[in-house]
Amino acid sequence: MRKKADKTRARIMRTAGKLFAKYGFKGVTVRQLAAKARVNQAAINYYFRDKYGLYCEVVKELVRSFETQPAQYWEERLQAATSFADLEVLLGEYVDAKLASHLQILKTEERWRQELMMRLMMEQDELLRSIPQWLEREMRIAPELFRRLSPEKDELVYRLADIHLMGQIFFYSAAEGAVRSFLNYTGNWDDLLPRIRELVLKSVYAYLELQWQGRN
């Protein structure tokens, strides 16, 4: 009985994730969710209380599916970084982790996760800000890293830089054909990842108007 309930809950969340990714929170009704998930509306209320409760659970699972390390790990690394060079190394590791998680998501054929993540980052509205503090903690790592790298900017620049970073990672991880054409590359995809990492970092540094410090 418990296994059946768990499968039903998971199916509702997966269905909701796909719909939220395509239409946004406001563009999806409980009736649509129930029909697509093959459950009655009472089941959604039973498992999640309401549409907003379902949305929060989907976002919570989504964010954690992209994290190769918990927020505490990156917070501790940020605290330990005492120089610009330390921050550069940390940003490189952060990009590596994000690329790895995005590529892993693509292997599961759940591309909607990337689409929903980008929608969340673009739609910085009251709905997203009202989600509990754990989400804020998860999503402030990159902006804080950018603030340390370029302290003279304002908070909006750091948030936009995070969106820019995720957009770059989204493109390079999801559009293999376009990337191969852009880089004129026909070899093994995994061998191209160091080059992609360099391009992503260069783009972020340029966005923050910092001189690229990396070495080929």
Q: Tell me, yes or no, whether 89 and 193 share the same domain.
A: yes
Structural domain includes residue 96: yes
CB 172 within 8 A of CB 200: yes
Structural domain includes residue 212: no
Give the pLDDT of the chain (216 residues) as one tens digit per residue.
567 778 899 999 999 999 999 998 889 999 999 999 999 999 999 999 999 899 988 988 887 777 778 888 999 999 999 999 999 999 999 999 888 887 777 777 677 887 888 787 676 555 555 555 666 677 788 999 999 998 877 888 888 888 888 888 888 877 777 778 878 888 887 788 888 899 999 999 888 886 555 433
Burial 12-51 (b: 16+ CB within 10 A, else e): bbbbbbbbbbeebbeebeeeebbebbebeeebbeebbeeb
Q: Tell me, yes or no, whether 30 and 7 share the same domain.
A: yes
Q: Tell me, yes or no, whether 136 and 45 share the same domain.
A: no
Q: What angle do CA 132, 134, 135 make, to 5 degrees?
A: 80
Can you give the residue range of the structural domain that contains 18? Answer: 2-58
Q: Tell me, yes or no, whether 106 and 191 share the same domain.
A: yes
> Looking at the 3D structure of the chain, how many domains does it have?
2
Find tokens 């949305």 and name the residue.
55
CA 15 to the chain's CA centroid:
19
Q: Tell me, yes or no, whether 45 and 128 share the same domain.
A: no
Q: Distance between CA 58 and CA 214 in Å, rounded?
A: 37
Structural domain includes residue 198: yes
Determine the pLDDT at residue 74.
Answer: 92
- Kindly give the residue spans of alpha helices, DSSP state H, lying in the chain: 2-23, 30-37, 41-48, 51-65, 71-80, 84-107, 112-122, 126-129, 133-139, 141-149, 155-174, 176-183, 193-207
Structural domain includes residue 151: yes
pTM for this entry:
0.74
Determine the pLDDT at residue 176.
Answer: 75
Determine the pLDDT at residue 18.
Answer: 94
Find tokens 């302290």 and name the residue.
151
C-alpha pair distances (Å), 72 with each of 68, 92, 127? 12, 18, 25
Q: Tell me, yes or no, whether 30 and 70 share the same domain.
A: no
Determine the pLDDT at residue 8.
Answer: 92
Structural domain includes residue 214: no
Q: Tell me, yes or no, whether 7 and 35 share the same domain.
A: yes
Determine the pLDDT at residue 214.
Answer: 44
Q: Distance between CA 33 and CA 17 in Å, rounded?
A: 10
Determine the pLDDT at residue 1.
Answer: 57
Determine the pLDDT at residue 31.
Answer: 95
- Distance from first CA to last CA of the chain, Å, rounded? 57
